């Protein structure tokens, strides 16, 4: 989703032009860029217009996921305490991470994180659960927010083992030529 499509997060342009607001936004952007991982997390914006997309599970119904853009945006990653779930395999931790994104970086890349978009970082594929602004992220008593917290979880199609290159198909997605030839 484009940054300007979310009207509820856009603020008064006169307030944005003030020098103290500009200074605060630049300091926050520099802080995020300086403390971001190298290479930065890669955000995959899902193309919701050209494919059938399940509204309940926020997953594409098509055989392959289609992306509009792949953006390397500086972000600070924080790990949360694992959320333990009982499954058929027993007690399994659900890995949850948060990514802190700067307002100026989001404007620069013209991107707004949306539920269902993917993030590839440190060998893991994450799916975005929620993008929200922390109440302490506002500049003084203004409506200008300095950064946004993106809550992620390891994607459904992944597991706890890292995937080195998310562009390559996993073994379950590879085409089995021997099985098709015997038919």
What whole-number percentage of the chain has pLDDT above 90? 14
Q: What is the DSSP letter of 2?
A: -
What whole-number percentage of the chain has pLDDT above 70? 66
Taking the CA atoms of residue 43, residue 63, residue 165 and residue 106 in that order, the dihedral angle to the nearest 10 degrees is: 0
Residue 172 CB partners (closer than 8 Å, separation 6+)? none
- From the list 2, 4, 5, 6, the residue with the least C-alpha distance to 133 is 6
For 41-85, write each residue's pLDDT tens digit.
999 887 766 666 666 666 656 656 677 888 999 999 988 887 787
Contact 144, 21 (CB under 8 A): yes
Residue ranges making up the domain that contains 129: 3-182
Contact 98, 151 (CB under 8 A): yes
> What's the number of domains the chain is made of?
1
The whole-number pLDDT of residue 163 equals: 42
For 16-53, write each residue's pLDDT tens digit.
677 888 888 898 899 999 999 888 999 988 776 666 66
The answer to whether residue 102 scores a pLDDT higher than 80 is yes
Q: H-helix or E-strand containing 31? A: helix 19-35
Contact 75, 36 (CB under 8 A): yes
- From the list 129, 133, 135, the residue with the least C-alpha distance to 147 is 133
């Amino acid at each position: 989703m484009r940054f300007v499509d979310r009207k509820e997060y856009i603020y008064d342009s006169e307030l944005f032009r003030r020098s103290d607001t500009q200074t605060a936004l630049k300091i926050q952007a520099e802080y995020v860029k300086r403390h971001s991982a190298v290479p930065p997390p890669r955000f995959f914006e899902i193309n919701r217009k050209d494919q059938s997309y399940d509204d309940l599970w926020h997953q594409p119904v098509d055989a392959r996921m289609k992306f509009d853009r792949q953006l390397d945006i500086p972000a600070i990653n924080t790990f949360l305490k694992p959320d333990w779930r009982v499954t058929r395999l027993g007690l399994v931790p659900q890995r949850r991470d948060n990514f802190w994104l700067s307002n100026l970086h989001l404007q620069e890349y013209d991107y707004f994180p949306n539920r269902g978009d993917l993030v590839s970082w440190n060998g893991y594929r994450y799916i975005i659960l929620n993008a929200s602004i922390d109440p302490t992220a506002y500049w003084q008593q203004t409506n200008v927010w300095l950064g946004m917290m993106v809550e992620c979880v390891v994607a459904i199609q992944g597991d706890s083992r890292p995937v080195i290159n998310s562009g390559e198909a996993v073994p379950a997605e590879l085409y089995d030529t021997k099985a098709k030839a015997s038919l």
